Each structure stands twice: as structure tokens, then as C-alpha cells.
Amino acid sequence: MLIHYRPRGRNASEISRDVEGALREGLVAPGVMLPPVRALAAELGLSPVTVAAAYRELREKGIARGNGRAGTRITGAPPIGPRPSLVAPAGARNLVAGTPDPALLPVLPRVSPPLRMYGDPPVSARLARLAAERFLADGIDPRHLAVVSGALDGVERVLQAWLRPGDRVGVEDPGYPAVLDLLTAMNLGAVPMPIDEFGVTPGALAGALDRGCQAVLFTPRAQAPTGAAWDAGRGSELTALLAARPDVLVIEDDHAGPVSGAAAQSTAGESRRWATVRSVSKSLGPDLRLAVLAGDDVTVSRVEGRQALGPGWVSGVLQETVAELWQDAAAGRLLARAAAVYAERRRGLIDALAARGVRATGRSGLAVWVPVTDEPGVTGALLERGWAVAPGERFRIAARPGIRIGTGTLTGKEAPRLAADVADSLARRPRRSD
């Protein structure tokens, strides 16, 4: 395995393919530092602009990550398939992932759905009715619905319905790592769209559209990893831009839904090709691999057609379980309580950090984002203090460094101590003995 790897190529595409091939064939190890742009350009007799373009393409594919002046490293992800999950060391407080609190998930009911046979409709009539009511209440057209195996499955099926290898997709930066891995596996280019606390900025969307994106992918609330959430103003700004480009495919991943802590916003319907995917994993439980997808008639038809050639349909038992929970008053009260508790935990950490002079964002969802300049140093220092958090490197294409702290299970007593340890880690203070 090559530790000191030198990419080869006569242009940006060839350099990018050389790195991808070396990683795929096991000739270079994840974590290896790529040569500095100017050094490689001089070695290959190319312009630094050409090498920089190759490195940018590698970042867009999720094959490499940049960390400012610290350089560009090959990631731990193979060119196809997800990158390895982060695992908290034994004994560390695990705040790596933005997972729900098991105590705030409803107990699954016993259901006895009608026996489903081949040729029956793929969507349960009861689930379709309840989902349509929820979509309609949020101003989303529910006339065409599909049921898929989770949010990412829905996103993949919608992309497959319209895009071809080489097409470009505008994605949030920082954003959800699995989306970047999915685009890499599908040979689609990821065009980073910078975000603020209200999500993708209008300028970022306009830039992605100008760069020829055939699709854009949004998380309107509970954005991973920053917790950004659209307000009505941001939703209107994005809607106006998309209205002028009706042929662009628009996908909204509303993965946290009723427990996100933010009101629903949507651009749905402004484009001819659109889909809004709502998963139940954060609200009802990760093992319920189910999401409901609303979209235009052609998109939904293509999703269901391709689904019919594979798994066929999502289990009727799962569909009836979700419908039963949606109709259960006690489960509804628990969801409302969960949303309030998650908001309290998220705000508690943000306020505790602010009291220590540390800026953090998180308008919604189950995590907060803390900008830092040295991700490895801060995450390592926090681990020494017993906290396992996620380095922002795995979420970023061109965005500035940061760390993601899961708050779904964080208690009010833990927040002040964690905030103090974050502040100490940022200031490189010695570990406290208490």
C-alpha cells in the first residue's frame, strides 16, 4: 500500500480518476495526505488551477476532504458504498450521532393487517389517507404518494428516476455524509451549496443552478449536521429562484418531521419534477425503515415502477404499524413531548456554550454544530475528557471546519460540563482533575 502517494494525470479528470482507482484497488490508504497543489502541479507540469480542480472534484465525490491549510486527505470511504461509521470508544459519552432518545420513542403496537397479496396496491389505504392529511396541512400536494424504505432510499429512487451518471446535484455544505456517498456510488457530481442557520442561502442555490445542476437536494429542517431550518422568508426566497428553473429536479428530505422542533416549510410544486420525503425514523424509531414520498405524478410513477422491479413494496406490516401510531392519541402526545424535550436539550447546550464564549448553531433537530479551526485537536481533547463527538470533516466539501455534537440524549446536567470542556478544548487548557 502506498503511503506517500503521488497522483498522475494530464488534466483534472485524469488526476481525479487516478486517485479514485488507487483507492478502489487498495493501492493507497484512507487518511493519506495528497501532495500540496503547487507541488503536484510543478511535478506534473500542469497549472495549479488544474490540480486544484482535480482536488475539488475529489471532494465533491466524497473521496477526499480538505482542511484549510492542513491540506487535503483521502477519506476512509471507498468510491462506492458508505464510509465507515464513527464508533465511540468504550467508556466515552457517545454524542457522535444525532440519534433519538429511546425513552421518547413510542412502543410499537401489535397490528394484524389484511393479508397482502401480489398485485395489491403498494401503499396501504389507511397510511395514504393519514399521510395525505399531514402533507396537505403543510401545503404539500398529496395526490401522488409512494412508500419507500427510509429517507435515503426515497432520495436514491427519485435521483434514479431522472438523472444519469455525470449529472450534477446541488447539496448542502456541510451536509449529510450518506448523501455524498450515495452520489459517489451513482457517479453523480455533488455541487456544494453553502448554508447558514436558515439552510441553503439564496446565493448558494443560484450558484448551483448557474453551474448546471440538474437537481438540488434540501433538508428544510433538522439539517444534518448543523440543525439549520428554513423560516418562511428563506422558503419564499428559494421558491422564487426555483420557479424560474422549473425543469430542475427538487428533492426535500424532511427526515425528522414532527420532532424537528421547527415548522414545516416547502418549495414543493414550483418545479415540474419534485419530491418531498418524510421518514419516521427519528420520530417513531430507526428500525421502522419507512418513509412516505409525495411528488409529481411522473416522479412517483417512476419510483413505484422501479420499486416494483426490486423489493416490490414496503411491508404492509410496517405500513399498518406506522398508521396505527399516527392514529394513537398517546403516541401523538409522546411525539409532542419529544419535540419539546429535544428543543430544550439543544437550546440548553447552545446557551451553555454561549456562556463560555463559544458560538454554536442548531435551530432544529437532534444536534448542534460548533465551528472550530482544528477538528482533530478539539475532538481528541474532548475524548480525553470523556466526550465522543463527530469531527466535521466527514460532513464537509468546501465548508469551514467544525464539530457535530448529538443532543438527542444529552441531559440538562451534562450540558454545562460539556460546554466547559468544549471551551477548554478550544483554548487548549489542561484537562481538569475533577
For residue range 57-83, list pLDDT tens digits in order.
887 777 887 766 667 888 765 555 666
Domain with CATH 3.90.1150.10 in the chain: 93-101+331-427
Residue 184 host element (H or E): helix 177-185
Work out whether the CA dihedral 240, 243, 245, 250 comes out positive or negative: positive
Q: What is the pLDDT of residue 257?
A: 95
Q: What is the pLDDT of residue 77?
A: 55
Q: What is the pLDDT of residue 433?
A: 47
Domain with CATH 1.10.10.10 in the chain: 12-74
CB 418 within 8 A of CB 108: no
Q: Give CATH for domain 12-74.
A: 1.10.10.10
Q: What is the pLDDT of residue 70?
A: 65
Q: Residues 98-147: pLDDT tens digits?
A: 899 999 999 999 888 888 888 899 999 999 999 999 999 999 999 999 99
Residue 86 pLDDT grade (very low, low, confident, very high; cuts 50, 70, 90):
confident
Nearby residues of 43 by Cβ (< 8 Å), 6 or more positions away: 6, 35
Q: Is the pLDDT confidence value at 434 over 70?
A: no
Q: What is the pLDDT of residue 1?
A: 46
Q: What is the pLDDT of residue 431?
A: 56
Chain centroid, CA 332 distance in Å: 26
CATH superfamily, domain 93-101+331-427, is: Aspartate Aminotransferase, domain 1 (3.90.1150.10)
Distance separating alpha carbons of residues 28 and 20, to the nearest angstrom: 10
What separation, in Å, do the N-terminal and C-terminal C-alpha atoms of the chain show?
A: 44
Q: Residues 12-71: pLDDT tens digits?
A: 888 988 888 888 777 887 778 899 999 999 999 999 999 988 888 887 777 887 766 667
Residue 368 host element (H or E): strand 367-371
- Give how far Cα 304 sits from Cα of 116, 248, 294, 321, 334, Å: 17, 21, 12, 21, 32
Q: Is the pLDDT confidence value at 360 over 90?
A: yes
Q: Residues 238-271: pLDDT tens digits?
A: 999 999 999 999 999 999 999 999 999 999 877 8
Q: Residues 394-421: pLDDT tens digits?
A: 899 889 999 999 999 999 999 999 999 9
Q: Is the pLDDT confidence value at 11 over 50?
A: yes
Chain centroid, CA 279 distance in Å: 13
Mean pLDDT of 279-304: 97
Residue 374 pLDDT grade (very low, low, confident, very high; cuts 50, 70, 90):
very high
CATH architecture of 110-328: 3-Layer(aba) Sandwich (3.40)
Q: Residues 162-203: pLDDT tens digits?
A: 999 889 999 999 999 999 889 888 878 899 999 999 999 999
CB 432 within 8 A of CB 422: no
Q: Is the pLDDT confidence value at 293 over 80?
A: yes
CB 249 within 8 A of CB 214: yes
pTM attached to this predicted model: 0.83
Q: What is the pLDDT of residue 67?
A: 62
Q: What is the pLDDT of residue 81?
A: 61
6-29: burial string, b at 16+ Cβ within 10 Å, e else: ebebeebeebbbbbbebbeeeebe
Q: Is the pLDDT confidence value at 388 over 90?
A: yes
- Nine-digit cell string for 74: 483521502
Residue 430 pLDDT grade (very low, low, confident, very high; cuts 50, 70, 90):
low
Nearby residues of 5 by Cβ (< 8 Å), 6 or more positions away: 19, 22, 27, 28, 32, 34, 74
Compare 252 and 84 and report the one with higher pLDDT: 252
Compare 1 and 366 and report the one with higher pLDDT: 366
